[in-house]
Structure 1
Amino acid sequence: MRYHESIGGVFLLKKVINVAVERDGLWLDSDIVYAQVPGWLGNATRNLRLSVIRHFATGDDTKFPVIFWFAGGGWMDTDHNIHLPNLVDFARAGYLVVGVEYRDSNKVNFPGQLEDAKAAIRYMRANAAKFQADPDRFVVMGESAGGHLASMLGLTNGMTEFDFGDHLDVSSDVQVAVPWYGVVDPLTAKQGSATDAFDFVYRNLLGAEPEDAPELDAKANPLTYVSKKSVPFLILHGQQDQVVPVKDSEVLYEALNQAGVDADLYELETAGHMDVQFMQPAVFKLILEFLKKHLN
C-alpha cells in the first residue's frame, strides 16, 4: 500500500510491505575452543578452534543435522574459516556448518590430525543442545588433506584408538562422509601425482617417506579401514587434478562397493585441484540429495 504524508508542506510517498519469513536467520559463532593440545615444542598449551554457522534459536525441540568441514592445505597450513562464505548454502538448506581447525604437520604427525577431528566431533555431540544439533546426523566433508580426514572419520566409527582428550564419554562416530579430491593412500598419491612439487607433504605428515614406512603409510591409508560397517560415501574428484590422482578416489570407491557400502563417485570432467567448480550450485545439489537419502 502507498501512503501520502505531508511533512513541512512537502508530500512524501512511503511504501509499506508485508514480508513473509521464508528462511531462518543465521548466527556465526567463531573460533570456539573445542580442545587444548600440546603447544610450542610440547612445552605450552595450544587452543584448537571451530566456527559454527547456526540457526536462530527456534525455542522448541528442533534439531539440525551437522556438516563438519575440514579445509585443505597439504597438512601444512589450514584455515577453518576460509570456506565458510561458500558453505553458507548448506546452512540455508537446513544444516549447521562447523569449520574445524586441526593441527598441521609442522606441529604433529599423523594421527594427530585425526585425533583433533574426532575431538571436534565429540565436542559438538557433547554440546548438541546448545547448538540445536542432531547428534545422530553428523556429516564429515573436506577437501584434499581435509578430504583425507573426512574419509578417515567415515571409516573409523566404533574405534577408540584415535580418541584422546575431552568428552570421551560421547562417541566420535559420524553418519556420512563426503571427501572432495581427498588423499587416499599417501604412497600412491605421491607416486601418482602429475607433479612432484608436493611430495614433501607426505613425508611431513607421516614423519617418514611413505615408501620407507609401510606401517605408517597403512595407518594413514583410508583403504586400511574399509569394511561393511563403513558409512555412506559421496566422493568428488576432478578429472584434471594434477595434485591428487583421481585414480585413488576410484580405488576407494571400488573398495567401498566391494564391501557393500553405499557409495557414489562423481568426477568433474574439467576440474582441477581445489577448483571453483566444486563450489557451484550443481555440486551442492548433488551433495544435498545424497545427504537427504542417507540421513534419516
Structure 2
Amino acid sequence: MRSTGSKLFFGLFAGSVCAASPAQPAAPAADSYTAHTTFAKLVPKYPFIKVASAEVPPSVQAYRDITYTSIGARPLQLDLYLPARRSSKMVPGVVFVHGGGWRTGVRANFAPMAIRMAQRGYAAATVSYRLSPEAPYPAAIHDVKAAVRWMRANAARHGIDPGRIAVGGGSAGGQIVSLVGVTGGMRAFDPGAGDGAVSSAAQAIVNIDGLSDFTSEAARKFEDDPAKQPSSAGAWFGGRYAEKTALWHEASPTFYVNAAMPPILFIGSGQTRFAVGREEMIAKMDAVGVASRVVLFPETPHSFWLFDPWLEPTVEATVRFLDEHMGPRQ
C-alpha cells in the first residue's frame, strides 16, 4: 500500500569532532556545484536564504575522510556523523549522495543534513563517488553500493543497525540512490556482491529532486538538449539518447519497480523538470504494493535542501518517513 497515500505540500518556513584522518579534502573547483556557488546564483531571486550550517554541535560526533573503498590507487571517502550520546540500542543509518549533474559536486553539500539527522538519532554518512570526468556510468552506482556495504560491514563498530540502512540523495544523487535502492540484490549493478559479500540492499530511499526516467520526452528535452555539447546526462552515459539508448533506459529507476524494493520518499522542489517519471513510478509501486510518499515544497529552487529555511522541514519529512518504514530510533 502507498504510505499515507498523499502528497504533502509545504510553504515557506520562516560535537565533538574525531577525525579519522588528518588530511583535509581538496578545495572544490570554483565552478563546482557547492552550497556557496549555488547560493551566489540563487540569492538575487531568494534574498532570504542562508547556506545551511555544517558546524558540528557537541551532540554529534564526526569521523571524516574514511576510505570506504579503493579503485586501484584511488581512495573513495566518506564522512560519518553519529549521535554523541547513545544507549546500547543500535541506531538506523542513512547514506547521503550529493548531486551536481553526475559530473561535479562535493560530499560536503550533504553535511548539514547529515548532522541534523545525527542529532535526531541516525548514523549519517556523506559519500564521494566517481564523477563522469573520472568514470562514466555505472561507476557512481557501484561506488554508492560499496558505501552501503561499508556501513553495513562496520555497523557493529559504530553502533549502527545493519538491518536498517537507507539511501538518500539530491538531484543527480537522488536519481543515483533511487537506482541503487531499486536494484538491490542485482549483481549486474553491484560487482562487489559476490557470494558471501555484505549486502548493499537499502531498506528505504529518499529521492530529493532526482529524475526517475531519463527516457521520457519531458526529461530528454533538458537532458538530451542538442545545444549542450555534451549535456550532463550525455557526459555521464558517454553519448546522447540516440547513441546510448540502452544506457539511458538502464539508468532509469522506474524500470526496476518490483514488490521487493524499498519504499521511497520523494521530496520535490517547485521545478517540475526534476520530477519527471515520478508519478509513473509511483503508479507502478502502487500496483505492486510498495509504499511511497511525496512531499513538495512549492515555489522553491532546485537545490533547496542546501539552504535555510528549507533544510529543517526536509529533515523533518525524512525522519518521519524513515521512522515509519525502518522502525523507531533510540
Q: Under TM normalisation by the shorter chain, which class is it? A: 0.7 to 0.9
> CA 1:250–1:72 in structure 2 vs 1: closer, same or farther (change >3 Å)?
same
Aligned to 2:69: 35
Q: Larger deviation: 77-86 or 202-211?
A: 77-86
Distance 1:138 1:82 in 2: 20
Tell whether the 8 Å contact from 1:240 to 1:273 is kept in structure 2 after alignment: yes
Distance 1:257 1:166 in 2: 29
Tell whether the 8 Å contact from 2:69 to 2:146 is kept in structure 1 after alignment: yes
Shift of 1:213: 2.1
SS in 2 for 1:53: strand
Aligned to 1:251: 280
Q: Larger deviation: 145-154 or 84-93?
A: 84-93
Aligned to 1:285: 316
Match among 211, 214, 223 for residue 186 of structure 1: 214
State the identity as a percent. Answer: 28
Aligned to 2:173: 146
Shift of 1:185: 2.1
Shift of 1:180: 0.3
> CA 1:278–1:128 in structure 2 vs 1: closer, same or farther (change >3 Å)?
farther
Distance 2:121 2:156 in 1: 16
Number of residue equivalences = 265
Distance 2:133 2:236 in 1: 8
Tell whether the 8 Å contact from 1:69 to 1:141 is kept in structure 2 after alignment: yes
What is the identity, as a one-letter code, of the residue corresponding to 1:229? A
Match among 265, 284, 296 for residue 267 of structure 1: 296
Deviations 1:227-272 (A, max 9, x none): 111111100112334xx43232222222222232101112222122
Tell whether the 8 Å contact from 2:193 to 2:199 is kept in structure 1 after alignment: no
What is the identity, as a one-letter code, of the residue corresponding to 1:285? E
What is the 5 A alignment of 1:1-296? 25-38=59-72, 45-56=73-84, 58=86, 61-165=88-192, 169-188=197-216, 190-193=219-222, 196=225, 200-241=231-272, 244-275=273-304, 276=307, 279-296=310-327
Distance 2:259 2:90 in 1: 29
Q: Larger deviation: 75-84 or 198-207?
A: 198-207
Does 1 or 2 have the higher relative contact order (CA < 8 Å, sep 6+)? 2
Tell whether the 8 Å contact from 2:224 to 2:233 is kept in structure 1 after alignment: no
Q: Which has the higher strand share?
A: 1
Distance 1:156 1:283 in 2: 25
Q: TM-score, normalised by structure 1?
A: 0.82
Which residues of structure 1 form unaligned runs of 5+?
A: 1-22, 39-44
Which residues of structure 2 form unaligned runs of 5+?
A: 1-56
Distance 1:277 1:131 in 2: 30
Shift of 1:165: 4.4
Q: Larger deviation: 196-205 or 217-226?
A: 196-205
The structure with more radius of gyration? 1
Tell whether the 8 Å contact from 1:119 to 1:166 is kept in structure 2 after alignment: no
